[in-house]
């Protein structure tokens, strides 16, 4: 299994989880990147246990032709002493996908550029993020960490005043969202894949509530910018625009998706609500309701 995805000082969501999982099952892994070998070594040194997990590491300066040539992947297969057709490539770039397929390997694409999945037609599968990888599809050991249709995450936080959104939550969907401004959160939004998450929401004047939220472009409405749209799972008597909202995100439900009709979108959102509500009653997630972050005010 090879990938260009790993060569970032800050690990992509799901990368550490996947490496630990495959390493624990003794699945041979290799890293084949267009970056110089020295740069690769420097970057992966920031992640404990990564270097030891890869049986082979090859940089772009160790082959004659870079991607989209298949040379780097074929060289990895030779060093691993495996048939290329038994290998799975995980790639974020179009040249990498082309190289993997030219090497006769299966390729899963995780596009590095938002809203560009339609360009990766030569990949065997295109997924939104490494959180959505299903190893069993490729003959690899399945993950065992999903709980009640949710993936527990290392909690992360975001907050700010509630702002007006597109005006379609209550009016079009019948689902009132408490939108947050994305200003100042560019790096955080780029770190976390678009999708549906859940956790706890603290309103400075009202208390702490269960919450399910979407991050992304809402393909059905074709947003031009990435948004944060939490749905607080409580019936409020009034709007609370401008009130301080703090979120603790504790789990992931699914990737962002498009829908054939407004009704199917609404039904899916309500299903997400049911999944989130049931999961947040579990001790694993319920304990975060009492985080001081949710109850403090600016």
18, burial (CB in 10 Å: exposed 0-12, middle 13-18, buried 19+)? buried
- Give the closest residue to 165 by CA, choosing from 238, 269, 239, 268: 239
Cα–Cα distance, 95 to 66 (Å, whole number): 9
Helix, strand, coil share (%) of the chain residues, nearest 5: 35, 25, 45
Cα–Cα distance, 227 to 3 (Å, whole number): 29
Q: Which two tokens stand for residue 62?
A: 């160790």
Instruction: State the catalytic residues.
Output: 229
Can you count the helices (H) and strands (E) in the chain?
Answer: 9, 12
Cα–Cα distance, 237 to 57 (Å, whole number): 58
Dump strand ranges (E) for 4-150.
Answer: 30-32, 56-58, 88-91, 106-109, 125-126
Give the CA count within 13 Å in the CB-facing half-sphere of 256.
24
Contact 217, 269 (CB under 8 A): no
Which whole-number Å values give the CA distances from 109 to 90, 112, 136, 185, in the listed order?
Answer: 6, 9, 16, 26
Phi, psi of 255 (to 5 degrees): -75, 160
Cα–Cα distance, 114 to 132 (Å, whole number): 16
DSSP letter at 236 equals -
């Amino acid at each position: 299994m090879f990938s260009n995805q790993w060569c970032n000082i800050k690990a992509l969501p799901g990368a550490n989880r996947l490496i630990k999982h495959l390493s624990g099952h003794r699945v041979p892994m290799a890293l084949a990147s267009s970056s110089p070998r020295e740069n690769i070594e420097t970057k992966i040194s920031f992640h404990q246990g990564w270097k030891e997990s890869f049986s082979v590491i090859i940089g772009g300066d160790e082959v004659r032709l870079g991607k989209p040539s298949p040379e780097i992947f074929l060289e990895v297969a030779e060093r691993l002493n495996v048939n290329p057709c038994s290998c799975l490539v995980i790639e974020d770039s179009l040249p990498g996908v082309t190289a993997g397929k030219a090497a006769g390997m299966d390729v899963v694409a995780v596009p590095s550029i938002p809203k560009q999945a339609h360009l990766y037609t030569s990949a065997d599968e295109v997924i939104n993020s490494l959180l959505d990888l299903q190893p069993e599809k490729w003959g690899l050991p399945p993950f065992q960490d999903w709980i009640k249709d949710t993936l527990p995450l290392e909690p992360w936080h975001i907050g700010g005043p509630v702002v007006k959104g597109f005006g379609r939550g209550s009016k079009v969907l019948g689902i009132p969202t408490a939108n947050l401004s994305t200003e100042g959160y560019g790096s955080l939004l780029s770190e976390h894949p678009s999708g549906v998450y859940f956790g706890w929401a603290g309103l400075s004047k009202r208390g702490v509530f269960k919450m399910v939220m979407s991050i992304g472009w809402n393909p059905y409405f074709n947003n031009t910018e990435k948004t944060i749209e939490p749905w607080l799972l409580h019936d409020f008597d009034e709007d609370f625009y401008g009130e301080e909202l703090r979120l603790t995100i504790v789990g992931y439900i699914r990737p962002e998706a498009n829908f054939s009709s407004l009704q199917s979108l609404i039904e899916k959102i309500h299903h997400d609500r049911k999944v989130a509500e049931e999961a947040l009653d579990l001790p694993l997630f319920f304990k975060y309701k009492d985080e001081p972050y949710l109850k403090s005010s600016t």
